[in-house]
Amino acid sequence: MDKSFLCSKKYPKENKSLIKNLCISCKQDSNIVIKDTEYCNQCFTSVQLKKYRKNLDIIEKDHKVLFCLSQSLISYVMLFFIFKCFRLKDKIFILVSTDCDKKILDLIEKFQLNIIKDNFIINSNYEEYRTNMINFASDNNFDILLLDENIHMLVTFVLTGFCTNQIQNLNERIQNTEKYKNLYILKPFSNFIDKEILYCYFLFKEIVSFKIYNFKFEPLFLKCYDFVYHLSLRNYSTPFNVINTLKKAFLEIKEEELNIKL
């Protein structure tokens, strides 16, 4: 787990080949390779922001949106994406712990985002934290809760679910959006890999100095995550293939159940 954002801040490898390749977009010197495609830092950031904005399609201008800054690495990246991609910032609320560092609060204020303080534990068990955030958002009449779960986490939920025979909620967990009562649970990083998030983290200089807290995960979860991470190093498409195959399978099962009822 030393190379994923769950447990480390190891810098992703840039393109350091002897023959300098060019960015696919602007034709300047490239800095990073994603799925055999070369990008300079500026074009890489633009591509990631565009992808993130596309994942916000269900949010309407009158929706009240909540994001909890857990002070994990991926949550800092999410905060920066929120700042860059949301136009109506008066509808965005950032939930922070009561002992949140002043430097972080100052940055949120600089981003012109609303701050809510609560006494949640920032390095708690992830599943407990997730449930608490969903309940908090629902109880406080938010329309949207943003969760910072990426494609590697979604695949890991699947593997641990199969290993422990806890598959009853897998169909919901792998979706880009879940529904709980009147609350939509949105995962804008659901098609981002670790390498993309890590590289964004090091490009967003304002957040690199912040202290990072990691969630507590079960040993099985961490082993499965490490497995998924290393598979994706060899083949970028592996985690996406797993999720897309499962979505298709769940859809076919649902259609069969409907046909039986008819």
| Domain annotation covers residue 37 | no
| Domain annotation covers residue 198 | yes
* The pLDDT value given to residue 217: 92
Over residues 241-249, the mean pLDDT reads 92
DSSP 78-99: HHHHHHHH-S-GGGEEEEEETT
Judge if pTM exceeds 0.95. no
Based on the structure, what is the number of domains in the chain? Answer: 1
| Domain annotation covers residue 229 | yes
With contact defined as beta carbons under 8 Å apart, do 14 and 24 qualify? no
* The pLDDT value given to residue 255: 75
| Domain annotation covers residue 4 | no
User: Residue 46 is encoded by which pair of tokens?
Assistant: 């633009």
Tell me: pLDDT of 260 over 90.
no
| Domain annotation covers residue 42 | no
DSSP-assigned letter for residue 143 = S
With contact defined as beta carbons under 8 Å apart, do 153 and 189 qualify? no
CA–CA distance, 77 with 159 (Å, rounded to integer): 26
Over residues 131-147, the mean pLDDT reads 96
Which residue bears the tokens 């599943």?
A: 127
* The pLDDT value given to residue 253: 76
Residue 2: which pLDDT band, with cuts at 50, 70 and 90?
Answer: very low
Tell me: pLDDT of 236 over 50.
yes
| Domain annotation covers residue 32 | no
| Domain annotation covers residue 22 | no
Over residues 129-157, the mean pLDDT reads 96
Residue 15: which pLDDT band, with cuts at 50, 70 and 90?
Answer: low
User: Residue 113 is encoded by which pair of tokens?
Assistant: 């985002």
| Domain annotation covers residue 24 | no
Its domain, for residue 179, covers 49-261
Q: In CATH, what number is assigned to the domain containing residue 74?
A: 3.40.50.620
Rounded to 5°, the CA angle 13-18-24 comes to: 65
Nearest alpha carbon to residue 110 among 207, 44, 211: 207
User: What mean pLDDT is reported for the chain?
Assistant: 89
